[in-house]
Amino acid sequence: MEFPSVYKWFQLGIARPDTRGWLSREFIRAQKGERILDVGCGVSSILDELPEVSYIGVDHNPDYIDRARARYGNRAEFHLLDVNETNLQTFGKFDTVLLLGVLHHLSDVEVTQLMASISNVLETHGSIIAIDPAFEKNQHLVARFLARLDRGRYVRHADEYALLFHPTFKVKDVCIRRDLLRVPYTHAVHVAKFDDG
């Protein structure tokens, strides 16, 4: 999915129409004026579901960034950066950090580095919202097959994703959904905050 138009049509074809809306309403819950950092933002389609926020999207794919700038440049800021190399502190502090389909592309070591970087930019009251494909016990064969086909090499079980946030962050909510696509598939949503938050 290196090309934004292919990615967009894949998402429109297989994702249920209100998947992003559901994620925004149930988990992101952004309020007007809040600062949101979207790490691995892709084409930033989540912006369609957000109120007037101060949004910064970062991604390593220049085509995605170009597409996001063309569509949302008047209401957001976008930067071409690799999450493994960037110092997110240059962008200031954020109320929410989004990791939408990011963690299954990163090794445990890479996630540890990313969490350390996020810990420097997340407000003490802030939240991390992550959603990724997941494996689970007695999983539908099609869902397991598709998760194995994913170009992300690190699809995990929900409890394995949860461990990635420790020790800096504590997972406050986990949601497993099997109906966000038009085909059998398993998604894991994690909401994490600072351990004392």
Q: pLDDT, tens digit, for every residue of 83-109?
A: 877 789 999 999 999 999 999 999 999
Element (H, E) at 171: strand 169-177
The domain total for the chain is 1
Contacts of 31 (CB under 8 A, 6+ apart): 51, 53
Q: Which residue in the block uniquely carries the two structure tokens 């249920």?
A: 16
Confidence (pLDDT) at 14: 67
Confidence (pLDDT) at 197: 55
Contacts of 186 (CB under 8 A, 6+ apart): 133, 134, 135, 136, 139, 140, 143, 147, 176, 177, 178
- Our CA angle for 93, 99, 104, nearest 5°, is 145
**Could you tell me where the DSSP H helices lie in 34-190?**
62-72, 108-119, 141-149, 158-163
Confidence (pLDDT) at 13: 55
Instruction: Look up the domain containing 161 and give its range.
Output: 4-194
The CATH number linked to 158 is: 3.40.50.150
Confidence (pLDDT) at 11: 47
48-97 per-position pLDDT tens digit = 999 999 999 999 999 999 999 999 989 999 999 988 777 899 999 999 99
Residue 55's beta-bridge partner residues?
36
Whole-model pTM over 0.95: no
- Mean local confidence (pLDDT), 103-130: 96
Q: Is it the case that residue 8 has pLDDT exceeding 50?
A: no
